[in-house]
Each structure stands twice: as C-alpha cells, then as structure tokens.
Amino acid sequence: MKKHYSISKGSKEDQHEVHTEGCKYLPDVFNREYLGYYSTPQEAVDEANLRHGSTQGCGYCCTEYKDEM
C-alpha cells in the first residue's frame, strides 16, 4: 500500500489529479491533499472523486487509470 495525494487546487477546468508517494510529479507539500493509504491508484482516484468530483490519475504514476476518469 502506498500513500496517495491529490492536487489541492483545480486546474483551468477544475480537475484534480492523484499521485502516489514518490512520484516525480507529486506537487509540493503546500499544493496537495493527503488522501490516505490505498492498495491501488484506482481506490485513491475514487476517494478523490468523492471529495472533488472530476479527478484523474497522474500520467506518470497512475497511467492505467489516467484515461478512465
């Protein structure tokens, strides 16, 4: 299980993005929200969707989930 985070500020389209701990694109501590420990990125994306709506996985650390959201 890894720690997962979402970008805390929406982009132009008010979308959020989930990253796993250790991702080279993980935002700095002031621009992310801790989601928790999850077995898969999909679980973290589901949680972020509940909190923020439109959420996708990072194209680097969550590639298998990026296009599903």
Instruction: Look at the chain and report how many structural domains it folds into.
Output: 1
The whole-number pLDDT of residue 13 equals 60
Compute the distance between CA of residue 34 and CA of residue 13 in angstroms, rounded to an integer: 21
Please state the pTM of the whole predicted model. Answer: 0.81
Domain residues for 46? 2-68
Report pLDDT digits (tens) over 11-68.
Answer: 556 778 999 999 999 988 888 999 999 999 999 999 999 998 888 899 999 876 544 4
